[in-house]
Amino acid sequence: MHHHLDSYAYRNGLRHIPPEQKLLFAIALLLFTFFAHPLSQGLLWLWLSVWVVGYARIPWRVYAAVLGAIALFWLLSLPGLLVQVAPTSLVTTTTEPLLGRLSVGGWSVFIPQAQVTQALGVGLRTLVASSCLVFILFTTPFPELLGVLERRSVPSFLLDILMLMYRYIFILLDTAVSLQLAQRARGGYQRRSRWLYSLSLLAAQLFRQSLQRYQGTNLALLSRGFTGQFRVWRSPPYAYSQRYAVEAGLGGGLLLLVNTILG
């Protein structure tokens, strides 16, 4: 899927908008999520979904799959957000509403009702903030983002690190998918007893082949006269989109008004 994600950045409906304009829009909305009311955050997510699915013409299944993967990390963090452990003597004297409690040997494992509200708030904020980043991921090619950072005088070594990280994420995913496919063809992951064994083999081979890919890339760069700094491709100039700027301003102002009323 990752190759398709990268291709959407070059073929989406908002490709003609300057990357600075899209980046400023996403950053402004991202900052808004940190102090917005939950209802305002929900409205912001719906508005961003219109931009991604409607204006950028990203398939809703792909958009939902990416957000679903992000939500999975939130679900995995729920036990740490909800479950608390304390002495039973302290729990019995508290007046805070509890959704559940289990006492063993003088200690209690319980879920406060306030923690549920906090966990849901964290999940909503995570979803909205991730949508801002996904908007940039789907609408702006990564080399153009590097070009924006270069024009803003970001140090070249940071740009080189970002470029290498971006490339090696795809290399790592390619290697992992190929290795897992080869394992399944040889009977791996068929039983629970072999699942952990196959996973350990995958991790070992992934580390080994990643080092081999790194050495091959390093030799290829040296053979081509690499001087220690990557050159970022400069995209042709874009025409400023007044139509989307007006809509972004009106929508942002409306969200601020709603948040002030709810606030």
Q: Are 171 and 213 in contact (CB under 8 A)?
A: yes
Q: Give percent of the chain with pLDDT exceeding 90.
A: 30
Cα-based distances in Å from 183 to 1, 169, 176, 198, 243:
20, 21, 11, 7, 52
pLDDT digits (tens, 9 = 90+) for 214-241: 777 778 877 877 766 666 666 667 788 8
Q: Are 230 and 163 in contact (CB under 8 A)?
A: yes
Mean pLDDT of 17-34: 92
Pick left, alpha or beta for residue 236 (phi over 0 → left; psi -120 to 50 → alpha; otherwise beta): beta
Residue owning tokens 């040889």:
186
pLDDT band at 25 (very low <50, low <70, confident <90, very high): very high
Comparing C-alpha atoms, which of 214, 233, 217, 218 is closest to residue 159?
233
Rounded Cα gap, residues 160 and 180, in angstroms: 30
Q: In what order do the strands lie in the sheet with 107-112?
A: 84-87, 107-112, 98-104
Rounded Cα gap, residues 217 and 3, in angstroms: 20
pLDDT digits (tens, 9 = 90+) for 90-147: 767 666 777 767 777 778 777 787 888 888 888 999 999 999 999 998 999 888 888 8
Mean pLDDT of 60-75: 88
Over the chain, what is the mean pLDDT? Answer: 83
pLDDT band at 154 (very low <50, low <70, confident <90, very high): confident
Pairwise pLDDT comparison (57 vs 5), residue with the higher score:
57
Pairwise pLDDT comparison (14 vs 154), residue with the higher score:
14
pLDDT band at 1 (very low <50, low <70, confident <90, very high): very low
Mean pLDDT of 68-72: 87
Q: What local confidence, expressed as pLDDT, does residue 177 receive?
A: 78
